[in-house]
Amino acid sequence: MHEVWLLAQPPILHVACKTLEHAKALLVIANESGLRNSGIISLKKNIARITSSERIETLLALNKKVFVNKEYIAVLAQKANEKFLRGREKLRKFEEEIEEAKEKLLSL
């Protein structure tokens, strides 16, 4: 079976934090930056997963049969690029927020 998919996924960061309190503080900053699909994925190692929920996953073709036309592919590509740029902007904002909160995070 041959499948052709278009996948546009948000940025994903896995961050190992010193303590659970650091991980929680990081999640607050992520949420404020628009990365609202974030969470703690390991309580043992205090690992936070920073991401958002914007994604596109769609099947374009299966077994040499194409399900979409060129116009639709162009629309999907445009939307995927928009999501990429939005994700980049959220990462930029996240980085700025981390920089502003650095002293507070270091004092935890």
CB 90 within 8 A of CB 38: no
Task: Return the SS3 of 61.
Answer: strand
End-to-end CA distance of the chain: 53
How far is residue 24's CA from residue 29's CA, in Å, rounded to a whole number?
9
Q: Which band of pLDDT confidence, cut at 50, 70 and 90, is reported for residue 82?
A: very high
Domain architecture of the chain: domains with CATH: 3-106 (3.30.1960.10)
Stated pTM of the model:
0.85
Q: In this predicted model, what pLDDT tens digit does every residue of 17-52 receive, in sequence order?
A: 999 999 999 999 999 999 999 999 999 999 999 999
